[in-house]
Amino acid sequence: MALFKKGSAAPSNVDTTANAAATPEKHQPWKELGLKEDEYARIREILGRRPTSAELAMYSVMWSEHCSYKSSKIYLRQFGEKVTDAMREHLMVGMGENAGVVDIGEGWAVTFKVESHNHPSYIEPFQGAATGVGGIVRDILTMGARPIAVMDQLRFGDVSHPDTARVVHGVVSGISFYGNCLGLPNIGGETVFDKVYQGNPLVNALSVGALRHEDLKLAKASNPGDQVILFGARTGADGIGGVSVLASETFDADGPSRRPAVQVGDPFAEKVLIECCLELYAAGVVAGIQDLGGAGLSCATSELASNGQAGMRVQLRNVLLRDESLTPEEILMSESQERMMAIVPKRDVAAFTAIVDKWEVEHSVLGEVIREPRLYINWGDEEIVNVPPRTVAHDGPVYERPVAYPAWIDALNADSSARLPRAVDAAALAEQIVEVVSSPNQASKNWITNQYDHYVGGNTALAMPDDGGMVRVSEETGLGISIATDANGRYGQLDPYAGAQLALAEAYRNVAVTGATPMAVTNCLNFGSPENPEVMWQFKQATAGLADGCLALGIPVTGGNVSFYNQTGDVAIHPTPVVGVLGVIDDVARRIPSGWQDEGHNIYLLGTTRDELDGSVWAGVIHDHLGGKPPVVDLAFELSLASALNAASEQGLIASAHDLSEGGLAQALVESVLRFGVGARVWLDEIKQVGGIDDTAALFSESTGRVLVSVGREDDVKFVGLCEARGIPVLRIGVTDGRAVLGGSAGSPSGGTASGDGTDARLEIQGVASWSLTELAGVHGGTLAELFG
């Protein structure tokens, strides 16, 4: 038997549609593939017979949570419903496509999205993170855009856990390896350590791309006769994982072994693919395009056909393979990276071929688009798939999962930080400040960001550690974009509705402080198991909070991603809705840095400081406490604050602006002096008086809607007038004073070590403490290198 298997064009054990019709009773491993009994029954009903093993593989993966959003769909709809016409005004492509597209003026558009690669990054951190970057960049490329930057949002377990270093090193070097080799500047991100992520690290990756309006591409195949071309890397046994069950079912013992679940990335192949695709777009030879990510060919073929309201005939034997032993089911499922599928009109195939040949990118014609809305896939002469593409790609199951108010949350909310002891004297306060700013989550992330290229492209106007990343889009006019992402899982745990809004408010504010105008939102919703009704309640609350928040701020959600099942046993991660806000700035030359550059400037605190320490860094770092209610969100105020910052930036009134968030004023002061090595004298009296609060609240409260601004003396009157006219509370709390020469300022890309050449300055918080900047650079800059370097 085995003797004849290899040579024959179509092995006899391929499960054809004819065979499926003839053997209705054959048992199929639908359960092992993650399908529910009623879902399997529905597939049989759609097809009027049992599915072939290839069809079963396609439906199972396309109807999985990851691809179908079956648990989240009913909640995600509100992102498209809670919108006004004004919010749609600049939206060229909304949710549902590979990434949303926003008109930023001057004929330019940008597309951006954040996506998770959490589970693979725990199993194999290096490749998991690397292919996470690769996947999101292909989504951006698919829209017709040149990718122009990446960011990453990382959550790791406790720094003291023995497994954390494995994940940190793998993930950071994976992002460094892949992103640097792609030539995309990494302009920012987040890194948080918390034991709740121990067995479930979160690796979210964001990419943004720019395109001219007319270059917009969509993933659809609508013209009969157009050729279906697969190009890029060859198809191998990557990411097949669960589908191996079919192989072991279909084949005898001498068949292929179980396949790996994790994909392996080749950034060089992707870089070449990017340039190749951009040249194909410029030549106008691509009618539709889709990247191959999750669910590989199953997804690309069914989505292209379904989106185009057409069908497709595909010869699977034409797929170029890295591994000749792959079964048809495995070829359909393979998640080999760096592949794209193009829909090319017949007359353009020669031009298409010339371009891919120039880039030495392999391609093969798999088939063609047909009018009939049906997807036919053959393996040689045998038909193995014959399905309506829409039923695979878009008409998957939709669940209304049970929702339950968490039994534990009232007790958690009642356990306020008010009971925690506060520092009684200046020395204790000073010690707490040092403890906070040197804690792993608050310390400088230089050890990580120094491994990423933020220069490539020559258009980076702001990057870490500034509040938002900023990239120039037009070299002629200076038009550019700014992006910030945020999420605070601790707030999310206390109140997921507020937690999502707090993330939104902070990202919005972080974009505003760069001088840009916030325009659009993307999100990556990281949660536990949707089968847990309490997790589902968290999800429901978070999505409602985000949708309501976007409506209040007047900026639309353009796309995003949901990652469920981030839990170990019954213990879920904190709800971690990562929110990314995109802003536009007419000229990046007017961008605002986050730190002080000049001596003798006045320092103003905008906004109101209340005694809000529940869920704060202070409560966590000093007291290992999480309880109470997160800070109050006032989105109407955030709007006025952003508009005031924008006006001040346009009038050139502010020299720097830094958002206050985790770690409060204390954290912002330390970051501001270290950014460029300019010291300051600061007093807390007015903050305490106006807010009726004590030193601890003044220094560590995480009240929202606050920004630290430095203003040259000549602009003082104008600036204060501008704030007062807009009803923005403004307090002068200090002056910048003295300049240190740090070994490249501690916050800057050059590292956090003082050069020790004798020039120094100080941060003095009157009545509390005074440090030299060299000293602060040491405590703030050294933590991560000590832990992981």
Partner 1 sequence: MRIGVVTFPGTLDDRDAQRAVRLAGGEPVALWHADTDLHKVDAVVLPGGFSFGDYLRCGAIAAQAPVMESIIKAAGGGLPVLGICNGFQVLVESHLLPGGLIRNDVQTFVCRDQKLIVENVDTAWTNEFTLGQEITIPLKNGEGGYIADAETLKRLEGEGLVAFRYKDFNPNGSMNDIAGLRNERGNVVGLMPHPEHAVEPGFGPDTSAAMRSGVDGLGFFKSVLNSVVNA
Residues noted as catalytic? 66, 117
d(CA 742, CA 106): 41
**CB 188, min distance to partner 1, A:** 14
Indicate whether 457 belongs to the interface with partner 1 (CB under 8 A). Answer: yes
Q: Interior CA angle at 565 toward 563 and 569, to 5°?
A: 155
Of 223 and 450, nearer to partner 1 (C-beta) is 450
**CB 593, min distance to partner 1, A:** 5
Q: Pick the stretch among 73-81, 115-123, 240-248, 741-749 that binds partner 1 (CB under 8 A).
A: 741-749
Q: 3-class DSSP state for residue 696?
A: helix
Of 273 and 633, nearer to partner 1 (C-beta) is 273
H or E element at residue 502: helix 496-512
H or E element at residue 519: strand 517-526
Residue 573 main-chain phi, psi, to 5 deg = -65, 165
Q: What's at 726, amino acid-wise? A: R
Indicate whether 744 belongs to the interface with partner 1 (CB under 8 A). Answer: yes
Q: Pick the stretch among 94-102, 455-463, 572-580, 615-623 that binds partner 1 (CB under 8 A).
A: 455-463
Site string for partner 1, 467-506 (x = CB under 8 A): -----x--x-------------------------------
Indicate whether 541 belongs to the interface with partner 1 (CB under 8 A). Answer: no
Q: Considering only residues 510-539, where is the footprint of partner 1 by CB under 8 A?
A: none
Closest of 212, 138, 148, 209 to residue 183, by C-alpha: 148
Q: What's at 353, amino acid-wise? A: T
Please pick, from the candidates 13, 222, 364, 450, the single residue that binds partner 1 as defined by CB under 8 A.
450
Closest of 67, 134, 140, 136 to residue 299, by C-alpha: 67
Close Cβ partners of 734 (under 8 Å, ≥ 6 residues apart): 602, 603, 680, 681, 682, 683
Please pick, from the candidates 42, 50, 117, 454, the single residue that binds partner 1 as defined by CB under 8 A.
454
Of 405 and 455, nearer to partner 1 (C-beta) is 455
**CB 464, min distance to partner 1, A:** 11
Q: What's at 495, amino acid-wise? A: D
Kindly state the number of chain residues that form the binding site for partner 1, as judged by CB under 8 A: 46
Indicate whether 272 belongs to the interface with partner 1 (CB under 8 A). Answer: yes
Indicate whether 271 belongs to the interface with partner 1 (CB under 8 A). Answer: yes
d(CA 474, CA 268): 26
Indicate whether 459 belongs to the interface with partner 1 (CB under 8 A). Answer: yes
Indicate whether 178 belongs to the interface with partner 1 (CB under 8 A). Answer: no
- Is the bond into 533 cis (omega within 30 degrees of 0)? no
Q: 3-class DSSP state for residue 20?
A: helix
**CB 357, min distance to partner 1, A:** 11
Indicate whether 743 belongs to the interface with partner 1 (CB under 8 A). Answer: yes
Site string for partner 1, 36-55 (x = CB under 8 A): --------------------
Of 61 and 269, nearer to partner 1 (C-beta) is 269
Q: Pick the stretch among 112-120, 261-269, 325-333, 625-633 that binds partner 1 (CB under 8 A).
A: 261-269
**CB 359, min distance to partner 1, A:** 7
**CB 103, min distance to partner 1, A:** 24
**CB 146, min distance to partner 1, A:** 10
Please pick, from the candidates 181, 240, 536, 666, the single residue that binds partner 1 as defined by CB under 8 A.
181
Q: Pick the stretch among 195-203, 304-312, 521-529, 747-755 that binds partner 1 (CB under 8 A).
A: 747-755
Q: 3-class DSSP state for residue 428?
A: helix
Q: Pick the stretch among 49-57, 483-491, 547-555, 739-747 that binds partner 1 (CB under 8 A).
A: 739-747
Of 395 and 453, nearer to partner 1 (C-beta) is 453
248 close to 255: Cβ distance less than 8 angstroms: yes
Of 232 and 556, nearer to partner 1 (C-beta) is 232
Please pick, from the candidates 155, 601, 658, 739, the single residue that binds partner 1 as defined by CB under 8 A.
739
Pairing relation of β-strands 517-526 and 557-563?
Answer: parallel
Identify the bridge partners of residue 217 per DSSP, sorted by sequence position: none
Q: Pick the stretch among 129-137, 347-355, 611-619, 748-756 that binds partner 1 (CB under 8 A).
A: 748-756
For 78-88, letters b (16+ CB in 10 Å) and e give bbeebbeeebe
Indicate whether 766 belongs to the interface with partner 1 (CB under 8 A). Answer: no
**CB 349, min distance to partner 1, A:** 22
Site string for partner 1, 563-602 (x = CB under 8 A): -------------------------xx---x---x-----
Q: What's at 269, amino acid-wise? A: A
**CB 212, min distance to partner 1, A:** 17
Task: Count CB neighbours of 254 within 10 A.
Answer: 8
Indicate whether 138 belongs to the interface with partner 1 (CB under 8 A). Answer: no
Of 324 and 360, nearer to partner 1 (C-beta) is 360
Please pick, from the candidates 43, 171, 461, 635, the single residue that binds partner 1 as defined by CB under 8 A.
461
Close Cβ partners of 721 (under 8 Å, ≥ 6 residues apart): none
**CB 145, min distance to partner 1, A:** 16
**CB 368, min distance to partner 1, A:** 30
Query: HEC profile for 452-484?
Result: CCCCCCCCEEECCCCCCEEEECCCCCCCEEEEE
Q: Considering only residues 201-260, where is the footprint of partner 1 by CB under 8 A?
A: none
Q: Considering only residues 628-647, where is the footprint of partner 1 by CB under 8 A?
A: none
**CB 337, min distance to partner 1, A:** 13
Q: Considering only residues 344-383, where is the footprint of partner 1 by CB under 8 A?
A: 359-360
Output DSSP code: residue 621: I
**CB 268, min distance to partner 1, A:** 3
d(CA 22, CA 594): 69
Q: How far is CA 616 from CA 328, 422, 575, 621, in A?
A: 53, 14, 16, 9
Close Cβ partners of 22 (under 8 Å, ≥ 6 residues apart): none
d(CA 294, CA 247): 19
Indicate whether 760 belongs to the interface with partner 1 (CB under 8 A). Answer: no
- Is the bond into 201 cis (omega within 30 degrees of 0)? no
Output DSSP code: residue 214: G
Task: Count CB neighbours of 544 within 10 A.
Answer: 17
Q: How many CA atoms lie within 13 A of 578 on its CB side?
A: 29
Indicate whether 268 belongs to the interface with partner 1 (CB under 8 A). Answer: yes
d(CA 638, CA 642): 6
Indicate whether 748 belongs to the interface with partner 1 (CB under 8 A). Answer: yes
Close Cβ partners of 576 (under 8 Å, ≥ 6 residues apart): 155, 202, 487, 489, 492, 525, 526, 527, 566
Indicate whether 653 belongs to the interface with partner 1 (CB under 8 A). Answer: no
Over the Cα atoms of the chain, what is R_g? 27
Indicate whether 672 belongs to the interface with partner 1 (CB under 8 A). Answer: no
Expressed in percent and rounded to 5, the helix, strand and coil fractions of the chain are: 40, 25, 40
Q: Pick the stretch among 224-232, 286-294, 448-456, 630-638 that binds partner 1 (CB under 8 A).
A: 448-456
Indicate whether 618 belongs to the interface with partner 1 (CB under 8 A). Answer: no
Of 627 and 751, nearer to partner 1 (C-beta) is 751
How far apart are the two ends of the chain, measured CA to CA in Å? 57
Identify the bridge partners of residue 645 per DSSP, sorted by sequence position: none
Q: What's at 720, amino acid-wise? A: V
Of 15 and 760, nearer to partner 1 (C-beta) is 760
Residues in contact with partner 1 by the rule CB under 8 A: 173, 176-177, 180-183, 266-269, 271-272, 275, 359-360, 449-461, 472, 475, 588-589, 593, 597, 676, 739, 741, 743-745, 748-751, 755
